[in-house]
Amino acid sequence: MRPAERLERIPPYLFAQLEQKIADKRAAGVDVISLGIGDPDMPTPPNVVEVMERAVRDPGTHRYPSNRGRPEFREAVTSFYRRRFGVELDPETQVMPAIGGKECIFNINFAFLDEGDVALAADPGYPPYTGGPLIADAEPVLMPLVPELGFVPDLSAIPDSALERARLMFVNYPNNPTGAIVPDGFFDRVVEFAREHDLLVVHDSAYSELTYDGYVAPSFLATPGAMDVGVEVFSLSKGWNMTGWRCAAIAGNADAVAAYWRLKTNVDSGLFDAVQLAGAEALTGPQDSVREMCAIYTRRRNLVIDALREIGIQIEPPRGTIYVWAPVPEGHTSASFAEEVLKQSGVVVSPGSAYGPNGEGFFRISLTVPDERLAEAVERMRSSFEEVVREPEL
Ligand SMILES: Cc1ncc(COP(=O)(O)O)c(C=O)c1O
C-alpha cells in the first residue's frame, strides 16, 4: 500500500502531534495542562442544546441534508449578519452551511485552485491556508505578518511572479495566532488589491465574536465592494462553544458560494439538519453566553499577560481571539522553548514556528482552560520560565 505523494507535501498537523506528546506525558504520570489547541472548555449555551435535543428527536432531520442548507439556517445567518454587521445577504444565493470552518477553507482550495495556481496565505497563519493549497496541487505563497506592521501583510511586497498565478487570498481578523485586530482601512486595501489581481478573498472570521476592551470586530463583507471579490467563512465553533458540532457558514459572493456548493455536492452530503437548527438558534436566540465568554476570556487574558510581564515579557493585551502570542525568551527557538516548558512544567504551549516561518521566535497560549488550571499553568510556567531563561547562560 502506498499513500498518495501529496500527503508528503504537508507537514503533520500540529495538534495531531501535540496530542501524541500529551498522551505520552500523561501515560508517564505527568499532570499535563494543555494551553495548545484553542478548544473552548465551556459548554454550548443551553438554549442551543435544547433545540438540538428536540431536533434530533424529529425523524424529519434524520435523512440526508441538502448541501444548500435548510432555509432556517440560511435565514438565521442572514438575520445575524444584518443585525450584527449591517451586511445584507441573499439567503438563497449568498449563504450556505459548512461542516465547520476548517472543511470550508479546505474545500475552497479545491473549488478555486488548479495545478500550479497560487493561494496567498498569512504567515504565521491557520495551517489549512497552506495545507489546503498543497493538497490541491497548488502553491501557497506566504505573506509575512510582522509586529512592526501590526500583523497585517504588506500587499505591495507580494512578488509579481506569485500574483500572476494567484487565485485566492486568505485573511483572518481577529487573527489566529497573533491575536491582532484589523487596522482601519486594511479591508478596503484588500478589496482594491483583489480587484486589481482578480483574486477571491477568503476572510476567515472564526473569532469575530470574541473581542475585548470594547472592541467590536467588523465583517469583511461590510467593506464597500467586498461582495464582488470575497466570501467570509463564519464559524460557530468559538463564539458559541460549538467546536464539536462542526457548524459554520460560507457567506458572500454568490458565484463563489455556487462554486463551493458544486464541489460539495460531490464531496459530502451536507451538515446534519439538527445541527443546522441548533446553529440557527445560536445565531438568533439570546446572546448572553457570548458576552459571558468574552468576560471570562478577558479575565484569563489578563492573568496570562500579568504573569508574562512579571518575568519580563511585555506584550500588548490582544483585543480579540482566545490566544496570547508572545516572544520566546532570548536564547530559545519556538520549538526549544515549547519543549522546555513541557519538560519542566508539564504545560503545553504551541511553538510559533508551527504557524509558518514568521512565527519563529514566538509561542502561543490558548485561554481555553478553566481559570484555576490556567492559574496553575501560569504559576508553573513562571518558575520554569526562570529556569528556561537562565538555562542558556549555564
Ligand atoms: C483561524 C481559524 N479558522 C478556522 C478554525 C476552525 O474552526 P472550525 O471549528 O469551524 O472548523 C480555527 C480553529 O481553530 C481557526 O483558528
Of 99, 176, 205, best ligand 1 pocket probe by most atoms within 8 Å of the beta carbon: 176
Mean pLDDT of the chain: 94
Task: Assess whether pLDDT exceeds 60 at residue 389.
Answer: no
- Cα–Cα separations (whole angstroms), residue 201 to 243, 272, 344: 24, 28, 43
Mention every residue, 6+ apart, whose C-beta is less than 8 A from residue 51: 277, 278, 280, 281, 285
What is the distance in A from the centroid of ligand 1 to the CA of 127?
A: 10
Reported as a single tens digit per residue, the pLDDT across 199-242 is 999 999 999 999 999 999 999 999 999 999 999 999 999 999 99
Report the run of H or E that residue 121 belongs to, with start and end.
strand 118-123
What is the distance in A from the centroid of ligand 1 to the CA of 238?
A: 8
What is the distance in A from the centroid of ligand 1 to the CA of 206?
A: 6
Reported as a single tens digit per residue, the pLDDT across 328-378 is 988 999 988 988 898 889 999 999 999 999 999 999 999 999 999 999 999
DSSP string, 39-58: ---SPPPHHHHHHHHHHHH-
Confidence band for 393, pLDDT divided at 50, 70 and 90: very low
What is the distance in A from the centroid of ligand 1 to the CA of 101?
A: 5
Three-state SS at 33: strand
Which atom number of ligand 1 is nearest to the Cα of residue 103? 11
Q: What is the pLDDT of residue 394?
A: 44
Please tell me which residue, 167 or 16, carries the higher pLDDT value.
167
Confidence band for 9, pLDDT divided at 50, 70 and 90: confident
Protein residues with CB under 6 Å of any ligand 1 atom: 38, 100-102, 126, 172, 176, 204, 206, 235, 237, 243, 248
Task: Please name the residue that has the C-alpha cell 479545491.
Answer: 110
Nearest to 126 by CA among 34, 194, 44, 206: 206
CA angle 362, 298, 18 (to 5 degrees): 40
Task: Assess whether pLDDT exceeds 60 at residue 50.
Answer: yes
Task: Assess whether pLDDT exceeds 70 at residue 255.
Answer: yes
Residue nearest to atom 2 of ligand 1 (CA): 206
Phi, psi of 334 (to 5 degrees): -55, -45
Confidence band for 256, pLDDT divided at 50, 70 and 90: very high
Reported as a single tens digit per residue, the pLDDT across 100-159 is 999 999 999 999 999 999 999 999 999 999 999 999 999 999 999 999 999 999 999 999
Query: What's at 157, amino acid-wise?
Result: A
Of 106, 171, 238, best ligand 1 pocket probe by most atoms within 8 Å of the beta carbon: 238
Task: Assess whether pLDDT exceeds 90 at residue 310.
Answer: no
Query: What's at 24, amino acid-wise?
Result: D
